[in-house]
Amino acid sequence: MTPSRTGIIIRVTVLSLLGALWLVPVYLLLANAGKTVQNYSGSTLWRPGSLGDLWDNLSHVATGTDIPRALVNTAIYSMVAPAIAVVLGATVGFAVMVLKLRHGFLWFFVIYCGSVFPLQMLVIPLFDSYSRLGLYDSLTGMVLIYSIVCLPFSAFVMRNFFAGIAESVFEAAVVDGAKTVRIFTRIYLPMSSSALAVVFILQATWVWNDLLLGLILTQSDTTRPVMPVLTGLQSTEGGGASYTVVLAAAILVSLPTALLFLVSQRYFAKGLALGQY
């Protein structure tokens, strides 16, 4: 049934208003990041700043803060850890749904239980165990914990995706003489590329925006992620006088995830329909 012209107008109007409302914080961020400390106040909150002041604030962030090093650390965590979790999650889903692993649901349930308890409950045990094992304040330790935290969701999505693939695909590959590893890497992984992309994007975004684990398990500039550094930037810069610099830093921190969604939106849209490949 073709929608009426009035319905289309109402729908476009409502979506436009919601989009404009969603963009208000973005405007405020950009407008106030391009101001000097003297020009920043409650009365000028909605007044846009200048590109020159914005460039000066961004330059100060790049040269006078620890944000650039923290961005590199976070890029490592948000690329390596989700990639490991996606591969392991696909392996779990393949073993449970395709290979019919004995007690497979029990193993899957054990893995998925990792997402049942909030991270706040695990902070003290994690801090204690990392200190004892020498993983505290290390790149390896952060990649390890992020991979573990991302694994349950990855396994859950990939298990559901593989459940939608006909068993005849695996049976036909076995009849053709393909080994299990070859079936997994040459057939099932390519078929699930859209689902893998969605899981990776979502988990990479979560790792990028994480504050708790980075704050608790790191200390030095060589390992600390960007969110704890951004949180501490205001106090290290001198209280309220640094608001414009903090806002400029927030722009730099937000750009990578925004670009990730823009570049990969085609895969993200396909992957939302997990039954299509």
Kindly indicate the confidence band of residue 96, based on its pLDDT and cuts at 50, 70 and 90: confident
pLDDT (0 to 100) of residue 139: 93
Report whether pLDDT(110) > 80. Answer: yes
Does 116 fall in a domain? yes
Distance set, CA 27 to CA 40, 242, 260 (Å): 15, 19, 20
pLDDT (0 to 100) of residue 87: 93
Same domain, residue pair 18 and 115: no
pLDDT (0 to 100) of residue 263: 80
Does 150 fall in a domain? yes
Same domain, residue pair 14 and 128: no
pLDDT tens profile 144-202: 999 999 999 998 888 888 888 888 888 888 888 888 888 888 888 888 888 888 899 98
Does 23 fall in a domain? yes
Same domain, residue pair 131 and 223: yes
Task: Report, as an integer, the average pLDDT of 79-100.
Answer: 90
Same domain, residue pair 83 and 182: yes
pLDDT (0 to 100) of residue 233: 80
Report whether pLDDT(74) > 70. Answer: yes
Between 175-189, 228-242, 248-262, the lowest mean confidence (pLDDT) is in: 228-242
The closest of 184, 210, 172 to 82, measured between CA atoms, is 210
Same domain, residue pair 83 and 6: no
Same domain, residue pair 111 and 200: yes
Same domain, residue pair 15 and 75: no
pLDDT tens profile 213-234: 999 999 888 899 999 988 888 7
pLDDT (0 to 100) of residue 141: 92
Report whether pLDDT(238) > 60. Answer: no
Find the domain containing 6 and state its range.
Answer: 1-34+43-49
**Better-predicted residue by pLDDT, 41 or 193:** 193
Report whether pLDDT(244) > 70. Answer: yes
Say how many domains are in the chain: 2
Share of residues in the chain with pLDDT > 90 (%): 25
Same domain, residue pair 102 and 28: no
Same domain, residue pair 185 and 243: yes
Does 219 fall in a domain? yes
Same domain, residue pair 107 and 5: no
pLDDT (0 to 100) of residue 81: 95
Does 54 fall in a domain? no
* Assigned token pair, 53: 């002041």
pLDDT (0 to 100) of residue 227: 92
| CATH code for position 229 | 1.10.3720.10
Does 57 fall in a domain? no
Does 56 fall in a domain? no
Does 93 fall in a domain? yes
Report whether pLDDT(242) > 80. Answer: no
What gap in Å lies between CA 149 and CA 75, rounded to an integer? 17
Distance set, CA 202 to CA 55, 207, 260 (Å): 31, 9, 10
Kindly indicate the confidence band of residue 240, based on its pLDDT and cuts at 50, 70 and 90: very low
Report whether pLDDT(98) > 60. Answer: yes
Kindly indicate the confidence band of residue 205, based on its pLDDT and cuts at 50, 70 and 90: very high
Same domain, residue pair 128 and 6: no
Q: What is the pTM of this model?
A: 0.85
Mean residue pLDDT across the chain: 84
pLDDT (0 to 100) of residue 77: 95
Q: Give every CB contact of residue 82 below 8 A, 6+ residues apart in sequence.
A: 146, 147, 150, 154, 199, 200, 203, 204, 207
Same domain, residue pair 5 and 116: no
